[in-house]
Amino acid sequence: MNAATRNFESLTAGVLPAGNGGGRHPKAPARRPIDRRSPCNAELWTREPPLNMSYYFAIVGTRDNPLFEHEFGTSRGGGDGIARFRDDARHMNQFIVHSSLDIVEEVQWGTGQMYLKHIDRFHNNYISCFLTAGNIKFLLLTSPNPDNPRSSAASMSSVRSSAYPSSSAYNPTAPAAEEAIKNFFMEVYDSWVKTIMNPFYSLNQPVKSPVFRSRVAAAAKKYL
């Protein structure tokens, strides 16, 4: 066997068909598993189910008094729309939202916008705010569910490179999140204006209308 033949066989080992049956050469090395951390396969590594969230929505009057409350969960992406606040944390929602009113007072004069976006955070709870022309405050508390399908991703963070941060964390300042919350607020605001135009409604009184509640629920299902 000359040198040219030996070089050809060494280059084609494990690639040429073996016998008449075809397939890989019996001595060919096993294929290496896909490295999902490589840039070429980053999409496979980060493809995870969407986050499921729990929401607490409150309307606060000009005297910092509660006018309306509503809980709901994620509806988009196949969610069932049910809030899943932990029993030991649900009673804290009112306190967390009320404590953010001081921040609302600070930031509302620095912008001419009604939508103040994300204004506060308490542990894993995020507060977004919308101000009406009459200084009524719409406050939305957003909390990732503890049984999130992505929660297991945090346990894999130690094997990931810093170039591939975990996508399981909720980002309230992401453009998509801000836009969804803004659309929710705007639709609720439209229903709110129609409600307070009712001659039987008194300013700063709790809203007990089932029609208004159903419209809030519809806006939540549509955008969140």
Task: Find, among 74, 69, 95, the residue nearest to 144 by Cα.
Answer: 74
Q: Which of 63, 62, 80 lies closest to 72, judged by CA?
A: 80
The candidate with the shortest Cα–Cα distance to 185, out of 222, 210, 211, is 222
- pTM for the model stands at 0.69
**Number of H helices and number of E strands within the chain?**
7, 5
Residue pLDDT tens, the chain, 224 long: 555 555 545 544 544 444 444 444 445 455 455 444 444 443 333 334 457 899 999 999 999 999 999 999 998 878 888 888 888 778 899 999 999 999 999 998 888 899 999 999 998 899 999 999 999 999 999 998 876 554 444 433 333 333 323 334 678 889 999 999 999 999 999 999 999 999 999 989 999 999 999 999 999 999 99
Q: What is the pLDDT of residue 147?
A: 66
What are the pLDDT digits (tens) for 180-206? 999 999 999 999 999 999 999 998 999
**Tell me, what DSSP letter sits at residue 131?**
E
Query: Which CATH number applies to 53-144+172-223: 3.30.450.70, 3.90.120.10, 2.60.120.460, 3.65.10.10?
Result: 3.30.450.70
Domain residues of the chain, as ranges?
53-144+172-223
Do 60 and 101 touch, CB atoms closer than 8 A?
A: yes
How far is Cα 186 from Cα 73, in angstroms, rounded to an integer?
19
